[in-house]
Chains A and B, each alone.
Chain A
Amino acid sequence: MSNLGFLAVGYGFIWLVLGGYVFSLARRQSGLNRQVDRLERELELDREAVPER
């Protein structure tokens, strides 16, 4: 492999790792958002079930 080939592999690996980590953060965030939505729905249902004094 030429010098430039090694350079391309090196930089490719760096952005692959960083991109993979950012992707995993985005997945975790959407999972958390789904949990928040579910919890908000549950709270809304409970709010309707328990009348305010």
Chain B
Amino acid sequence: MAEEQTLKRAFAEAPPSVIERRGGRGGGRSLWVDALGASSILAILFALYLALIWAPTEAVMGDIQRLFYFHVAAAWLALGPSFGVVAACSVLYLWKKDLRFDRIASASAELGVMFTTITLVTGPIWARPIWGAYWTWDPRLTTTLVLWFIFVAYLMLRSAVDAGHKRARLSAVFGIVGWIDVPIVFMSIRWWRTIHPTVIASEGGGLAPDMRLTLFVAIGAFTLLYAYLLVVRVRQEDLATRLDRVRHQLYLR
């Protein structure tokens, strides 16, 4: 009798919710998510046009300076939204004990590592013709590399522990402690002697208006892309969790 009830509950609850969550069937596809994806692509194409064609060529560095717009946008995405969301959702998980916050934090950490990788690789490509070296153990570069290692370790920790509250608790503590490096990265060029240029400064950073506009468009485009990828990734995690729950329910009967 109890088995039959469990099975019927699974029938009643599982299929519609599963179909709704997969985002491709049964009318569950969200228009706003598609609109977000489309607008992020359009914004990136526009930012590319501005960065590669419209923005003036920098007098000293030449065309390589055009890498600056997406290098800074990627750094902003990593240091600001990506790891900020990891820290905020980690705190919220420890407070509310809701695993959805853990899923958002892990998705955002994944994106943060991706954007930090872009920052760490495009920086040296830009530095080589300007500084004459791909890498120096400059405080900004070193603290960013440390940040990358911290969040790669965060993702490795998650893959090594079984899903559940134990993993969420460990990840949340790791994510909050790891986030402490973010203000250190940001302040490194003020605290220590460095050759890394200051982009965000109280005096305006010394950018020409056209270059500043291009930078803001690139940051906006990458922020839209981040929001879209985060939503898609969190939905996948939600669906995987729901699938596990339904399967567990079915196998228990």
Interface residues of A (CB under 8 A from B): 1, 3-4, 6-7, 9-11, 13-14, 17-18, 21-22, 25, 28-29, 32-33, 35-36, 39-40, 42-43, 46-47, 50
Q: Given A25-B229, A36-B19: A13 and B250 within 8 A (CB)?
A: no
Q: Are A4 and B63 touching (Cβ within 8 A)? A: yes
Asked whether any CB of chain A lies closer than 8 Å to the CB of B39, the reply is no
> Is B167 on the interface with A (CB-CB < 8 A)?
no
| Alpha-carbon gap, A10 to B128, bound state (A) | 11
* Chain B nearest Cβ from A43, distance in angstroms: 6
Complex interface: chain A residues within 8 A of B128 (CB): 6
Chain B 1-29 per-residue mask, 1 if CB under 8 angstroms from chain A, else 0: 00010011011001100110010100000
Q: Which of B7, B71, B114, B225 contacts A46 (CB 8 A)?
A: B7
> Could you say which residues of chain B place their CB within 8 Å of the CB of A4?
63-64
Sample 7 A-B pairs with CB under 8 A, ordered by A number: A3-B129, A29-B236, A32-B22, A36-B19, A39-B250, A40-B15, A40-B19
Q: How many residues of B contact A (CB 8 A)?
A: 41
| B67: contacting residue among A10, A18, A36, A43, CB under 8 A | A10
Q: Which residues of A contact B7 (CB under 8 A)?
A: 46, 50
Closest CB-CB distance, B103 to chain A, in whole Å? 13
Contact of A33 with B22 at beta-carbon distance under 8 Å, contacts A17-B114, A21-B114, A39-B14 already known? yes
- B239 interfacial by beta-carbon distance below 8 Å: yes
A7 x B15 contact (CB < 8 A): no
The main secondary structure of chain A at its interface with chain B is helix
Which B residues are CB-close (under 8 A) to A9? 125
Known A17-B117, A25-B229, A36-B19; further 6 A-B contacts with Cβ < 8 A: A3-B64, A6-B128, A21-B229, A25-B233, A25-B236, A50-B7
Cα of A26 to Cα of B104 in the assembled complex, Å: 18
Decide: B66 and A25 in contact? CB cutoff 8 A. Answer: no
B55 at the interface (CB under 8 A from A): no
Chain B's closest residue to A9 (CB) is B125
**Interface-located stretch among B156-164, B174-182, B240-248:** B240-248
In the complex with contacts A25-B232, A36-B243, A10-B22 CB distance below 8 A: no
